Amino acid sequence: MEITKPYLLFLGDAPDQLAAKTAAGVVDWRPDWCVGQMRLPGCGADVGLDELDISAAAARGAKTLVIGVVNAGGVLPDRWIDAIVAAIDAGMDVASGLHMPLAAVPRIAEAARRTGRQLHDVRLSRERFKTGTGEKRPGKRVLTVGTDCSVGKKYAALALEAEMRSRGLDAEFRATGQTGVLIAGRGVAIDAVVADFISGAAEWITPAADPDHWDVVEGQGSLFHPSFAGVTLGLLHGAQPDAFVVCHEPTRKTMRNVKHPIPPIGAVIEATVAAGRLTNPEIRCVGIAINTAALSEGEAQAALDAASTAHGVPASDPIRFGMATIVDRLLEEVP
């Protein structure tokens, strides 16, 4: 899948900033690939780019309209179709991370056929995966796991990769979600893989490698989330991580889109070790990544200090303070 750049990021009528996390992730890690954003009336998200309509974006050279919104079920609302068809008619391809294929909408499929433009369903891999084997393979792997969905697992993994590469380590971000695939240019949206093949897909993403190579694997969901724990578990078994980093958002009380309470960090560590030992008996926690965006500087540092003291591993905010201390521990634990 080769997605042509630059992008016009479509935010639609996303109800809040978190619903536009795909667009936000692309802007944060690949800002040079973006020409602007397009929002519909009532949109509650803003990723800080120039506001452009289709014609203005085409004039700036946009080649692909990227649907930067996520929603429950991954559906494409009817109210977005006019804008998508207009982008196609203006000469743009369309890339979507939704579960619903773009071509499932007759008007979109017809517009693409008529113009010869490409429709990229980022979540739908063309690869045929095998079932997982659980067999040990060379190379080193670190996985980000979460107390909930949308707590910063992708950002923590990308920050880990950046810190490791800055030290001259052979490290590569392995994308397992639609935004990560748009950022990395490769990967598999694990939540769209048939359940029997999730662990096999994770093994495919993180193949046998040189003993000094690190795969930095983007986590998905949470072992404690009633909607998505199955995806999380399959990824954990297939990734076979030597180490993991727990990601947490301290102001959240209930899990995303459900009423279940956020689990304690300690419970996530225990559950991840217990489940992860199936395919890697040496799995261990090497750090805690806390999203402190809603906290003051003092509150953030206090939260990090408390988490580090309580769990005996370094804690940091990947964006605010970087991942140096966590990488230090990672290299001590898995030399």
| pLDDT grade for 1, boundaries at 50, 70 and 90 | low
The pLDDT tens digits for 227-242 are 999 999 999 999 999 9
Residues 267 and 148 in one domain: yes
Choose one of 73, 91, 121: the last residue of a domain.
121
Domain count across the chain: 2
Residues 163 and 263 in one domain: yes
Q: So what's the pLDDT on residue 3?
A: 86
Residues 51 and 181 in one domain: no
Assess if residue 64 is contained within a domain: yes
Assess if residue 133 is contained within a domain: no
The rounded percent of the chain whose pLDDT value lies above 90 is 89
Residues 195 and 110 in one domain: no
Assess if residue 127 is contained within a domain: no
8: left (phi over 0), alpha (psi -120 to 50) or beta: beta
Assess if residue 82 is contained within a domain: yes
Residues 152 and 284 in one domain: yes
Q: What is the dihedral of CA 46, 49, 55, 58, to 10 degrees?
A: -130
Higher pLDDT, 74 or 301: 301
Residues 99 and 197 in one domain: no
The pLDDT tens digits for 252-272 are 999 998 999 999 999 999 999
Q: What is the CATH number of the domain that holds 16?
A: 3.40.50.720
pTM of the model: 0.85
The pLDDT tens digits for 87-119 are 999 999 999 989 899 999 999 999 999 999 999
Residue range 55-61: average pLDDT?
98
Q: What is the CATH number of the domain that holds 195?
A: 3.40.50.300
Choose one of 91, 121, 151: the last residue of a domain.
121
Arithmetic mean of pLDDT over the chain: 95
Assess if residue 99 is contained within a domain: yes
Q: Distance between the two ends of the chain, CA-based, in angstroms?
A: 35
Residues 117 and 145 in one domain: no
Residues 159 and 307 in one domain: yes
The rounded percent of the chain whose pLDDT value lies above 70 is 100
Residues 158 and 83 in one domain: no
Q: So what's the pLDDT on residue 184?
A: 86
The string over 231-253, giving b where at least 16 C-beta atoms fall within 10 Å of a residue's C-beta and e elsewhere, is bbbbbbbbbbbbbbbbbbbbebe
Give the C-alpha separation, 148 to 256, whole Å. 7
The pLDDT tens digits for 78-88 are 999 999 999 99
Residue range 198-225: average pLDDT?
97
Residues 92 and 161 in one domain: no
Assess if residue 258 is contained within a domain: yes
Assess if residue 132 is contained within a domain: no
| pLDDT grade for 179, boundaries at 50, 70 and 90 | confident
Assess if residue 161 is contained within a domain: yes
Residues 201 and 301 in one domain: yes
Do strands 140-146 and 243-248 pair parallel, antiparallel, or not at all (unpaired)?
parallel
Q: So what's the pLDDT on residue 126?
A: 78
Choose one of 93, 121, 149: the last residue of a domain.
121
Residues 64 and 92 in one domain: yes
Q: Could you tell me the residue range of the domain that residue 78 belongs to? A: 7-121
| pLDDT grade for 63, boundaries at 50, 70 and 90 | very high
Burial (Cβ within 10 Å: 0-12, 13-18, ≥19) of residue 61: exposed
| pLDDT grade for 161, boundaries at 50, 70 and 90 | very high
